[in-house]
A and B are shown apart, each in its own frame.
Chain A
């Protein structure tokens, strides 16, 4: 059995997500890359103001599913998505829905920190600027500061906002990317293995940050670290070969997995 500290489990239980009103609802989502099918009728409800973790062995379709939620898969010509995904009962694959609008509502943090090769300030200000979220320089300054504070980066960079974002350390860069995503005030934040390129200290900082952010956002995180999933998430879905094998409250998944495959995966027998 996985070694999960009881404290984090208790915390997760204490803030049990209200599943009555899920933020994101996926129904029978299938994804094809050309002829190849990567997801098989995936259905899942994702609660608001909480963290949902996707775990599973490599190549099982976690990233693919995550990228369906902000329609990032649209940028892959051979990719085809069927099924239905709604955010607050709004079908995001409705032809009348604007993808650009959607991506302002659903922010994304990528596996490798990818700040723009511009200043720290510009990195954060870019989103608000293109969406016209501020009417003055002062307002924009405020958004930038608030976003950096939310990403727990403000103290470290407040004196060098004009330095290039690419000059920060890996962990700082990733927090900058989180600040950039937060700056447009999204409803959902998708994180695809946000800590896989970071050392344990930077990882701890990001996890702390995720814990903070879940007060205001619906966070979906893909991770390969079971400890991380247990530490930060309230609900967990286990993906295997393109299907969700098991999905539920995190402590249940980790302590009493019902499916043999889940059991094997979280005890490290395969993956």
Chain B
């Protein structure tokens, strides 16, 4: 705004008032421009939030049922006759016909005549095929139970589970339904008498791969992801921090370091599937690490995370004011001491944030893992990172392609688990940054 300094003749007073008017008009326009800009910003944020809410609510609506599973509470008769003797040997314990024991128990519970072949079959079909394994586990853990009658929670079949979760349509003609009228009648009675209930689905977290939804879980995937994240931490963080500190503090500024810098930035933008191809070529074909092993997955994800960590660390290191470095050098610290004693501690929040965000990205990464064969049907827990495993996002991908109703909810359920991990990691990053943030 220009300041009017000329003496106030009537003429100049007129022009001054006109000028004031112009200024006022301009100010008004400036304010309305600012208001418009704010409105656009708020609209953009609301738009983004709306999508986020829609996304989360659909996933949640679809997925929350996966955390419950229909279970029969049965009185299982562990008749000595089924085991051959009153003190069965371990092999007798293992070989006993648990399917028959389980079927007897469900037939008894539903009041079905075991001699009526068709009814007996129909009743047995309401149990999960995993029921025998569940009973076997209990008996082998405590052989003294033989000869007694014990209460056991046994998984119901996936169709029964659908019924309890209200996903079963009774109006469909009986011949095209998965449960007959008779079975529905038994089930209604079972629900009434309280032997068929929905329980918290611990199996979702402990089971490995399965073709039956009721016995499929993310256990193996969780262990695989855990192995891989550990490997990423052990490999990418030391390498990334060392590389970043060297580049930022020691490397001479010349053509070579410039090229390296540009390439690191480019690497961060390379599609993840390319890292999968690289892993396939180097770790599996060249180094001979077994396919599907979490070691390969971890190394590939570490390579992928490396640029993120390097960039975050460099930013954090270069944000430390030079005066701190000079102060340290000034009292006779060596360059290394000035870095380890002063620069790195001040850069820790930035490094941690970068690391956690990199880890979160790696945890959700699917494409490179498909390339290295981690999309496998793994039932057994991997005991070392060299064993075949899957990862959480890959498990989601595999379930998403399965047809059964039970897998649809599990897909969404596993997504919720993955999202929970990501949220926890990001919140941790924020908290760490707040906690260690220092001013100078």
Contact = CB atoms under 8 A, between A and B. Distances in A.
Contacts of A104: 331-332
A47 B440 CA distance: 36
Nearest to B439: A166
B326 A130 contact: no
Contact of B440 (A110, A126, A166, A183): A166
Q: How large is the interface on A (under 10, 10 to 19, 20 to 34, 35 or more residues)?
A: 20 to 34
Interface stretch (A70-78, A214-222, A251-259): A70-78
Interface string B312-345: 0000000001011111111111100100011000
Contacts of B329: 72, 75, 103
Binding site secondary structure of chain B: helix
Given A100-B334, A103-B331, A126-B331, A117 B346 contact: yes
A190 B418 CA distance: 58
Contacts of A77: 252-253
Contacts, number: 66
B330 A108 contact: yes
Binding site secondary structure of chain A: helix
Given A77-B253, A126-B341, A166-B439, A116 B332 contact: no
Contact of A116 (B327, B337, B439): B327
B151 interface: no
A75 B329 CA distance: 9
A231 interface: no
Q: How large is the interface on B (under 10, 10 to 19, 20 to 34, 35 or more residues)?
A: 20 to 34
Contacts of A130: 331-333, 337, 341
Interface string A17-61: 000000000000000000000000000000000000000000000
Contacts of A108: 326, 330
B438 interface: yes
A140 interface: no
B332 A184 contact: yes
Contact of A177 (B327, B334, B438): B327
A117 B324 contact: yes
B332 A100 contact: yes
Given A117-B324, A166-B439, A181 B346 contact: no
A116 B438 CA distance: 11
A120 to B, nearest CB: 14
A125 to B, nearest CB: 11
A115 interface: yes
Contacts of B438: 117
Contact of A181 (B328, B331, B439): B331
B439 A110 contact: no
Interface in A99-125: 100-104, 107-108, 110, 112, 114-117
A166 B438 CA distance: 10
B323 A107 contact: no
Interface in A109-158: 110, 112, 114-117, 126-127, 130-131
A184 B328 CA distance: 12
Interface of B: 252-253, 321, 323-334, 337, 341-342, 346, 438-440
Interface of A: 70, 72, 75, 77, 100-104, 107-108, 110, 112, 114-117, 126-127, 130-131, 166, 177, 180-181, 183-184
Given A72-B326, A116-B328, A117-B346, 17 more contacts: A75-B325, A75-B326, A77-B253, A103-B329, A103-B331, A104-B332, A108-B326, A110-B323, A114-B321, A116-B327, A117-B324, A117-B439, A127-B331, A130-B332, A166-B439, A180-B327, A183-B331
15 contacts: A72-B330, A100-B333, A101-B332, A108-B330, A116-B327, A116-B342, A117-B438, A126-B328, A126-B333, A126-B341, A130-B332, A130-B341, A131-B332, A181-B330, A184-B331
